[in-house]
A and B are shown apart, each in its own frame.
Chain A
Amino acid sequence: MRAIEVRRLIDPLPIYTMWLREMKRFLRIRARVVGSILMPLFFLAFLGLPMSLMPAREIPGLEGAAYLDFLAPGIVGMTLLFAGTMSGASVIWDKEFGFLKEVLVAPVSRLSVILGRSLGGMTTAMIQALAIVGIAVAMGVKLSGVPGFLLAILIMILTCAAFTGFGLIIATRLGNLEGFMAIMNLIVFPIFFLSGALFPIQSMPPWLRYIMYIDPLTYGVDGLRGTLIGVSAFPLWLDFTVLFILSIGLATLGSYFFSKMEAD
């Protein structure tokens, strides 16, 4: 008999295994890869480009930037919102198709399982987000520089972690697939539209502005805008702080719910 090792809370091999599975699934489902890039691409091409043709100098908050430049970080934020939430929420698929049971009876801590899974989902979300940055640059968006870009990556990771945790919370609380898509759309779209991804927060009336202040994505989008093109409504430290606290909080809560989740 093999000696039974004491299982660690954070177990590298299973974490890597869960991560690998997410990556394989992502790359295998071609439609998903293409689909995940297409929607943001449409936003940039069919919203960003035409809007850039209109005079933008009058809109407060744009600070003279072209609308496409203004929009691009917002769309990167949107990609992170959708991809992150879906990656967290797709736990529900694993549960529905039985795969979760196999994972949960393995001698591996739940934390390692969800950590690996979330890291996998976050990696795929980051790939998508970076692809959008690439596409935006190809469309003529000028980035502020290398330090800004590196900071932007940090913001992307925090945003992504926050929404992965958020998706996980929804999935574990909801527990089954019924009504899942409806609830997702009901929550995710308002988060996107009210994040200031499409229009500057400064030009909104106060009542709407206050709603936008409680939208977590607002800080992700603003941080990305500040780091990528150098235009932002809040100071960067505020964006960072809010995102940092949110990502830690939501990810911890999501993992906690997951660890309490029943296998079937």
Chain B
Amino acid sequence: MAKVIEIDNLTKEFDGLVAVNHITLNVGEGEIFGFLGPNGAGKTTAVKMLCTILNPTSGAAEVCGYDIVRQRDEVRECIGIVFQDRAIDTFLTGKENLDFHARMYHLDSKTRQERVAEVLDLLDLKGKENMRINECSGGTQRRFEVARGFLNHPRVLFLDEPTLGLDVQARRGLWDYIRLLNEKEGITIILTTHYMEEADYLCHRVAIIDHGCIVAMDTPEKLKRAVGLNLISLQVAQDSSGSLIDSLNQLAWIRKIEVRDGSLELSIDGGEEKIPELIDFADSCGLVISSINLSKPSLEDTFLHYTGRTIREEEGSLIEVWKAWMRKSGAKR
């Protein structure tokens, strides 16, 4: 897989506070890559450096082969960005915003019209394009921003907390659009999130980032597996679990068997596909399984495993510290 993003020891300090601490990673073409971490972990700062909004303190990064400091314009030409905060002209209509963006990226008039129609279609925004942005719902506004983000055929699309503040339905919807973009247009997507489900659902690979450092990086599957195996708990109709345990011990993919509250808990290699196998197996032993349930370790467990904290514990305190700090530094400028 061709590398679209190469990050080498990228670091950003603000007045002695290290927001991003020597991160090194590569992202391949067509990947959906997620930075997962609590607010203030440094995700947004990392993305801002990659988007040429902030200059790194040290280290280097290349986006589409261009240096993010020395070749800013080239980088800007081949990326799209959806910011964490709303960054769309609310007095203009959705279409006017898209037109504006297309012209700023030097699309000629014919390409512009085609492309705007295309993105409106892709994100189901037809019929809403002539509404003013401030008359649209939060989810629709966000969709317009995403539409704008990939209007100029970027090779990489950065999504900074794309579903922050959206309701569950709008969030689900947006996830599907993001997937669609990735599949249909082959766009590499870098997203930051502090929602476990989001990273799990969307990302091919996830970097768990905490206090500016990457503490783990892999596919969501492998990250979860590193924490623990999938767990199947089952109950059999007959009271003959003893004999079943003996038989189950013969199966290689069962790592551990525990009896808890009258049900069996099996730590297994594998997932759902083992359920019918187990049912068949019990059947061959002359037993009937009355209930069976598979549970997987979540990314939440993973985060806990790597950082020693749940992501929610982090939020309250750090958000405040970070915000207060941002306000302070903002006032100075």
Residues of A near any B CB (own CB < 8 A): 1-2, 4-5, 7, 13-14, 16-17, 20-21, 24-25, 28-29, 97-99, 101-108, 175-176, 262-264
Q: Are A99 and B103 in contact (CB under 8 A)?
A: no
Q: Which of A16, A29, A101, A103 contacts B91 (CB 8 A)?
A: A29
Return chain A residues, CB-CB under 8 Å to B89. 21, 25, 99
| Residue contact A106 to B104, C-beta cutoff 8 Å | yes
Q: Is the CB of A107 within 8 A of B85?
A: no
Least CB distance, B321 to chain A, in whole angstroms: 19
- Given A4-B77, A17-B104, A175-B333, 8 new contacts (CB under 8 A): A2-B77, A7-B73, A28-B132, A102-B83, A105-B76, A106-B76, A106-B105, A107-B105
Query: B82-111, CB under 8 A of A: which get 1 and which 0?
Result: 010111111110001000110111100000
Digit string of B137-163 for contact with A (CB within 8 Å is 1, else 0)? 000000000001000010100000000
Q: Is B299 an interface residue (CB 8 A)?
A: no
A14–B88 CA distance with the chains assembled, in angstroms: 17
Determine whether B2 belongs to the interface, using a CB cutoff of 8 Å to chain A: no
Could you tell me if A14 and B103 are in contact, using CB atoms closer than 8 angstroms? Answer: yes
Taking Cβ atoms with an 8 Å cutoff, the residues of B that contact A are 51-53, 73-74, 76-78, 81, 83, 85-92, 96, 100-101, 103-106, 132, 148, 153, 155, 330-331, 333
Of the candidates B51, B77, B100, B155, which one forms a contact with A21 in the assembled complex, judged by CB atoms under 8 Å apart?
B100
Q: Contacts of A20 on B, CB cut-off 8 Å?
A: 100
Q: List 7 A-B contacts (CB under 8 A).
A: A2-B77, A4-B77, A13-B103, A13-B104, A24-B92, A98-B88, A106-B105
Shortest A84–chain B CB gap in Å is 20
Minimum CB–CB distance from B95 to chain A (whole Å) comes to 12
* Chain A residues in 8 Å Cβ range of B53: 101, 104-105, 263-264
A263 to B73 alpha-carbon distance, docked (Å): 15
* Contact indicator A99/B87 (Cβ below 8 Å): yes
Most B-side CB within 10 Å, residue of A25, A99, A105: A105
Classify the secondary structure of B's interface with A: loop
Q: Which residues in A have their C-beta under 8 angstroms from that of B96?
A: 21, 24
A contact residues around B333 at 8 Å (CB): 175, 262
Q: Contact: B87 with A98, CB < 8 Å?
A: yes
Q: Give Cα distance in the complex from A5 to B333, angstroms.
A: 33
Give Cα A131 to B243, complex, Å: 96
The complex places the Cα of A98 from the Cα of B81 at a distance, in Å, of: 13
- Residues A98 and B91 in contact in the complex (CB < 8 Å), given A105-B76, A175-B333: no
Given A14-B103, A25-B89, check contact A107 B83 (CB 8 Å). no
Q: Is the CB of A101 within 8 A of B103?
A: no
- Chain A CB count within 10 A is highest, among B74, B85, B106, B155, for B106
Tell me whether B100 and A97 are in contact (CB under 8 A): no
Separation of A86 and B88 alpha carbons in the complex (Å): 21
Closest to A26 in B: B91
A13-B106, A17-B100, A29-B91 are known contacts. Are A105 and B73 too (CB-CB below 8 A)? no
CB of B148, distance to nearest CB on chain A (Å):
8
Do A176 and B331 touch (CB < 8 A)? yes
What is the CA–CA distance of A13 and B148 in the complex, to the nearest angstrom? 18
Nearest opposing residue in chain A for B333, CB measure: A175
Q: For residue B106, which residue of chain A has the nearest CB? A: A13
Q: How far is the CB of B152 from chain A (nearest CB, A)?
A: 9
With contact pairs A4-B77, A263-B53 given, residues A103 and B92 touching in the complex (Cβ less than 8 Å) = no
In the assembly, what is the distance between CA of A264 and CA of B51, in Å? 13
6 closest A-B pairs by beta carbon, nearest first, are A98-B87, A17-B103, A107-B76, A106-B104, A102-B87, A107-B77
> Which residue of B74, B90, B132 is within 8 Å of A4 (Cβ)?
B74
Query: A25 contacts which chain B residues (CB < 8 A)?
Result: 89, 91-92
Residues of B within 8 A of A106 (CB): 76, 101, 104-105
Q: Is the CB of A103 within 8 A of B83?
A: no
Closest to B326 in A: A264
Please name the residue on chain B nearest to A99 by beta carbon: B89
Closest residue of A by beta carbon distance from B74: A4
User: Given known contacts A97-B86, A99-B87, is B51 in contact with A105 (CB within 8 Å)?
Assistant: yes
Chain B residues, CB < 8 A from A28: 91-92, 132
Please name all residues of chain A whose beta carbon is closer than 8 Å to the beta carbon of B81 when the two chains form the complex.
Answer: 102, 105
Contact partner of A107 (CB less than 8 A), chosen from B73, B86, B155, is B73
Whose C-beta in chain A lies nearest to the C-beta of B158? A105
A99 to B97, CA, bound (A): 10
Query: In angstroms, how far is the closest chain B Cβ from the Cβ of A7?
Result: 5
Q: Are B92 and A21 in contact (CB under 8 A)?
A: yes
Contact of A98 with B331 at beta-carbon distance under 8 Å, contacts A107-B73, A264-B53 already known:
no
Looking at A5, A21, A108, which has the most chain B CB atoms within 10 Å of its CB? A21
User: Residue on A with the closest CB to B90?
Assistant: A97
Distance in angstroms between the alpha carbons of A107 and B74 in the assembled complex? 8
Task: Specify the chain A residue showing the minimal Cβ separation from B52.
Answer: A105
In the complex, what residue of chain A is closest to B108 when comparing beta carbons?
A: A13
